[in-house]
Amino acid sequence: MIRASTIKTLKIDDRDFSARHDETILDVARQNGIFIPKICDLKGLSPVGACRLCLVEVKGSNRLLPACSTLVEEGMEVTTTTERLQRYRRNILELLFTERNHVCSVCVSNGHCELQTLAQKLDITHVHFRYRYPNLDVDASHDRFSVDHNRCILCSRCVRVCDEIEGAHTWDFMGRGIESLVITDLAEPWGTSETCTGCGKCVHVCPTGALFEKGKSVAEMLKRREFLPYLTQMREEHS
Amino acid sequence: MSKLRLATVWLDGCSGCHMSFLDLDERLLAVAEKADLVYSPLVDQKEFPAGVDIALVEGAVSSEDDLHKIQVVRARTRILVSLGDCAVTANVPSMRNKFPLQMSLDRAYKENVTLDPGTPTQGVPALLEKVRPIHEVVPVDVFIPGCPPSADTIFYAVSELLEGRSPDLSPRTRFGA
């Protein structure tokens, strides 16, 4: 089925682009090699605008807009990199490091972690804020997977992939603000979850070492995310 | 031209950063041409001297002794460098921070001990309630993340500092590197 679409023209960082009306600023940037940092966004999952790393300036708007969930508009003028945006992005990332116990050197995802990689890319060599060191648990009750809340940044990718792609909705959130936790079923041990199908999609979309396969040691947890856009596309074509 | 005064300090770390420093191998001679090593676990100098130009500090601040040392180092050093993840983030030593100090001490000295269980108080410095990265205690001038930072990274940073330049480290190293 061919859907009717209109074409919008816009400027990103003073360059002219055209895009379908249902594309986001981040889509256009990604297609054209413009780097906008992001961590909750993942191609194949619905955008939630949760991490705020992809905030951009849009002319005429007095607030910053998340590129992942802002649709293109005719005549839009977007700026992706300014001193202010870089400062905010660094602050957000630094706060993520302080909120939980991220110890890169002993993490299963060391060297393959999106949080770690972004920090380096944004020139973060240390964290200005005081670390909180919360006391958080590891749930290793599942046969094949574990969740280490110390490394979770609450991006909600696991929640979305489980709901939108696997259709199980095993994952969800509990609590509010800084006290939030990802939970399985009604905050029951993952291993006794009645809804979890054991598919492992949550593990592979997780940007950090929060969700990982058992038996993986430091730096051994490689995640495969290529499957997602294909799954989404296949389902759209067959529905 | 007189040589610069270089020091290295070992707080709460595994000495891996110092091992990485030693991995400069023959490049240590290049460093020695520009600087004198005036204080270090690698040389026999008991007290941290005055007028140090560059101090590379490995390790987090975990004990009363670390706290005292880093304050002396800061007062007597022009450029204080946080070397490695323990200095920069508190890293592995900070993993005890989620527990009350007494719980960690009991675990180490009572629960798993059969002979003379009890917390040592003589000849060892008291531990602080929380382990902290150095810059939470005193101002730091240069940060070199990494566990440990590679010898290449350390050589680059030290060379730049010895030439009076400020090193650009994020392309070369990161947390956990």
Give the pLDDT confidence of B4-22 residue by residue, as tens digits: 999 999 999 999 999 999 9
The sign of the torsion formed by the CA atoms of A220, A221, A227, A229 equals: negative
Residue that the structure tokens 């939108």 belong to: A164
Tell whether B173 is covered by a domain.
no
Select from B82, B91, B133 the Cβ nearest to the Cβ of A105: B91
Residue of A nearest to B136 (CA): A130
Q: Tell me whether residue B157 is in a domain.
A: yes
Q: Is A134 on the interface with B (CB under 8 A)?
A: yes
User: CB–CB of B94 and A105 under 8 A?
Assistant: no
Over residues A89-102, the pLDDT tens digits come to: 999 999 999 999 99
When comparing pLDDT for B137 and A225, which is higher? B137
CB within 8 Å: B98 and A127: no
Residue A1 clears pLDDT 60, i.e. is over it: no
In degrees, to the nearest 5, what angle opens at C-alpha A231 toward C-alphas A230 and A237?
85
Nearest-Cα distance to chain A for B68, in Å, is 20
Q: Do B136 and A124 make contact, defined as CB atoms within 8 angstroms?
A: no
- Does some domain include residue B117? no
Whole-number pLDDT of residue A198: 97
β-strands A171-174, A211-213 pairing? unpaired
In Å, how far is B138's CA from the nearest CA of chain A?
13
Q: Supply φ then ψ for residue B143, to 5 degrees.
A: -115, 125
Confidence class for position A234, pLDDT limits 50, 70, 90: confident
Mapped onto helix, strand or coil, the DSSP state of residue A22 is coil
Parallel, antiparallel, or unpaired: how do β-strands B35-39 and A211-213 relate? unpaired
**Mean pLDDT over the full length of chain B:** 97
Separation in Å, CA B81 to CA A85, A110, A217, B74: 28, 24, 31, 10
* Integer Cα distance of A199 and A164 in angstroms: 13
**Measured between alpha carbons, how far is B12 from B83 in angstroms, rounded to an integer?**
12
For the cut 70, the answer to whether the pLDDT of residue A39 exceeds it is: yes
Q: What is the pLDDT of residue A235?
A: 81
B17 found inside a domain: yes
pLDDT of residue A3: 63
B118 inside domain: no
Q: What is the pLDDT of residue B143?
A: 98
Chain B contact for A136 (CB, 8 A cutoff): yes
Test B130 with A133 for CB contact under 8 angstroms. Answer: yes
Q: Give the whole-number percent of chain A exceeding pLDDT 70.
A: 98
List the structure tokens of B112.
Answer: 């798993």
Contact A239/B at CB under 8 A = no
Q: Is the Cβ pair A116, B90 closer than 8 Å?
A: no
Please name the member of B90, B98, B176 whose beta carbon is closest to the beta carbon of A104: B176
HSE value, Cβ hemisphere, 13 Å, CA-based, for B51: 5
List, for residues B62-95, the tens digit of each pLDDT value.
999 999 999 999 999 999 999 999 999 999 999 9
d(CA B111, CA B66): 26
Query: pLDDT tens across A129-141, in order?
Result: 999 999 999 999 9
Contact of A108 with chain B, judged by CB distance below 8 Å, is answered with: no
- What pLDDT does residue B1 have? 63
Q: CA nearest A131: which of B60, B169, B74, B58?
A: B60
pLDDT reported for residue B144? 98
Measured between beta carbons, the chain B residues lying within 8 angstroms of A136 are 98
How many alpha carbons lie under 13 Å from residue A39 in its C-beta half-sphere?
25
Instruction: Read off the DSSP letter of residue A78.
Output: E
- Domain span at B41: 4-96+129-162
Looking at residue A232, its pLDDT comes to: 82
Are A115 and A150 a contacting pair, CB within 8 Å? Answer: no
Indicate if the pLDDT at residue A238 is higher than 80.
no
Q: Is residue B168 part of a domain?
A: no
Identify whether the C-beta of residue A47 lies closer than 8 Å to the C-beta of residue A24: yes
pLDDT of A5 reads 76
Q: Give a yes or no: residue B167 inside a domain.
A: no
- Helix or strand (DSSP H, E) at A201: helix A201-205
* Any domain includes B176: no
pLDDT digits (tens, 9 = 90+) for A7-22: 999 999 999 999 999 9
Out of B133, B143, B147, closest to residue A105 by CB: B147
| Helix A83-99 and helix A114-121, axial crossing angle in degrees, nearest 10 | 140
pLDDT tier at A231, thresholds 50, 70, 90: confident
CATH number of the domain enclosing B92: 3.40.50.700
Radius of gyration of chain A (CA): 19
pLDDT at A237: 79
Q: What band does A227 get if pLDDT is binned at 50, 70 and 90?
A: confident
Give chain B as a DSSP string: -PPEEEEEEE-BS-SHHHHHHHTTTTHHHHHHHHEEEEE-TTS---SPPS-EEEEEEESBEEEHHHHHHHHHHHHHEEEEEEESHHHHH-TGGGGGTTS-HHHHHHIIIIIT-SSS-S---SSSPPEEEEEE-GGGTS--SEEE-SSSPPHHHHHHHHHHHHTTPPP--TTT--TT-
ipTM: 0.93
pLDDT at B125 over 80: yes
Facing A123 at nearest CB: one of B133, B147, B170: B170
The backbone torsions φ and ψ at residue A153, rounded to the nearest 5 degrees and listed phi first, read: -110, 10
CA dist., res. B67 & res. B46, Å (int): 17
Which residue from A208, A224, A203 is spatially nearest to A109, judged by alpha carbons?
A: A208
Tens-digit pLDDT profile for residues A159-216: 999 999 999 999 999 999 999 999 999 999 999 999 999 999 999 999 999 999 999 9
Domain count for chain B: 1
- CB atoms A105 and B135 under 8 Å: no
Query: What's the pLDDT at A100?
Result: 97
At residue A2, does pLDDT exceed 80?
Answer: no
Helix axes B151-162, B27-34, angle to 10 degrees: 20
Name all domains of chain A by residue range, CATH numbers in brackets: 7-81 (3.10.20.740), 107-238 (3.30.70.20)
Pairing of strands A55-58, B4-10: unpaired
Are A50 and A158 in contact by the 8 Å Cβ rule? The answer is: no
Q: What is the pLDDT of residue A226?
A: 86
Determine whether the interchain pair A136/B135 forms a contact, defined as Cβ–Cβ distance below 8 Å: no
Q: What is the pLDDT of residues B133-158, one digit of tens each?
A: 999 999 999 999 999 999 999 999 99
